[in-house]
């Protein structure tokens, strides 16, 4: 749910902007509206294409995002990491703007609208601010009208624990939990087994769309991605990157078909 505090803060911000307007310096409303609409169009294009870098670049460095069912994301570093984890693949969703209001000061505005995806309908509130002459997203919040869960094609909730074993201690475990209507938190832990018992771990929040999700890892020398395809009671994981790229121990790979071992909500306490 969009937080009432955000609406109150936005109302005060717009009121301040209106009071500070000066007749001698009237903003070009038509130009501002065109620039904001162009920014909104760029946002939709990057979001639908799964272009996380282009999407994150549209936000101000100090922007605040409140995703549905997730913790608040604040600041450039957190924004880059969040979109890399949740927007790394193309999705199908429509956006319909309801209104765009620009303050009299010409340096702040907000947009409201509705969304529609396979998981159901939703709504959003986006706050724009003009910074050094360029419009950027300063704050954003979205919520989902339906209580739909991320599901496989057969309609099963993805929440649970999955895994595979190969003997001598080798294998991987995948824990997943619903976060909002189209996102999931996950934790992957793998072990190479005897004799080295090298291990690896990756975690994050992913966006689930069309029975697929991508966990992007960008903390090491080269980018790594764990690409997941969801089927009935199984998850097929393909690792795009080396063990070092993913931050895993030597010879550790997360590839495999993970069978569901439990449908209970898993614990995300990490055994390091």
Alpha-carbon torsion angle 144, 95, 67, 99, nearest 10: -90
Q: Across all residues in the chain, what is the average pLDDT?
A: 83
Same structural domain for residues 135 and 220?
A: no
Here the CATH number for the domain that contains residue 26 is 3.10.450.50
pLDDT of residue 153: 46
In terms of pTM, does the model score above 0.85? no
Q: Is residue 151 one of the residues assigned to a domain?
A: no
Q: Residues 180-187: what's their mean pLDDT? A: 80
Q: Is residue 270 one of the residues assigned to a domain?
A: no
- Name the 3-class secondary structure at 220: coil
The number of domains in the chain is: 2
- Specify the pairing of strand 134-144 against strand 59-66: parallel
Same structural domain for residues 21 and 137?
A: yes
Residue where one domain finishes, among candidates 111, 144, 177: 144
DSSP state of 125: E
Residue where one domain finishes, among candidates 78, 113, 144: 144
Residue where one domain finishes, among candidates 144, 168, 198: 144
* Cβ contact 81:156 at 8 Å: no
Residue 10: domain span: 4-144
pLDDT tens-digit map of 202-261: 998 887 877 888 888 877 878 888 989 888 889 999 998 899 999 999 999 999 999 999
pLDDT of residue 181: 66
Specify the higher pLDDT residue, 180 or 58: 58
pLDDT of residue 43: 96
* Cβ contact 266:174 at 8 Å: no
Q: Is residue 252 one of the residues assigned to a domain?
A: yes
Q: Is residue 155 one of the residues assigned to a domain?
A: no
Same structural domain for residues 132 and 196?
A: no
Q: Residues 91-99: what's their mean pLDDT? A: 90
Specify the higher pLDDT residue, 95 or 21: 95
């Amino acid at each position: 749910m969009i937080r009432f505090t955000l609406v109150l803060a936005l109302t005060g911000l717009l009121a301040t902007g209106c009071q500070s307007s000066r007749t001698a310096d009237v903003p070009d409303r038509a130009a501002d509206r065109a620039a904001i609409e162009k920014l909104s169009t760029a946002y939709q294009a990057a979001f639908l294409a799964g272009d996380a870098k282009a999407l994150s670049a549209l936000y101000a460095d100090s922007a605040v995002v409140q995703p549905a069912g997730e913790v608040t994301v604040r600041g450039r570093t957190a924004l880059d990491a969040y979109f890399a984890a949740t927007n790394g693949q193309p999705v199908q969703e429509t956006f319909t703007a309801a209104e765009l209001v620009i303050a009299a000061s010409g340096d702040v505005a907000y947009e409201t609208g509705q969304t529609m995806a396979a998981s159901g309908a939703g709504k959003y509130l986006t706050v724009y601010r003009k910074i050094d002459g360029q419009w950027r997203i300063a704050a954003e919040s979205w919520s989902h009208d339906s209580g739909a869960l991320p599901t496989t094609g057969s309609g099963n909730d993805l929440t649970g624990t999955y895994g595979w074993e190969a003997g001598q201690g080798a294998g991987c475990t995948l824990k997943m939990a619903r976060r909002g209507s189209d996102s999931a938190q996950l934790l992957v832990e793998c072990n190479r087994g005897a004799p080295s018992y090298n291990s690896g771990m990756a975690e994050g929040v992913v966006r689930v769309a069309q029975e697929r999700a991508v966990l992007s890892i960008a903390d090491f020398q080269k980018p790594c991605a764990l690409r997941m395809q969801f089927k009935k009671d199984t998850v097929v994981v393909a690792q795009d990157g080396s063990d070092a790229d993913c931050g895993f121990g030597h010879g550790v790979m997360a590839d495999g078909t993970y069978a569901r071992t439990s449908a209970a909500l898993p614990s995300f306490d990490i055994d390091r």
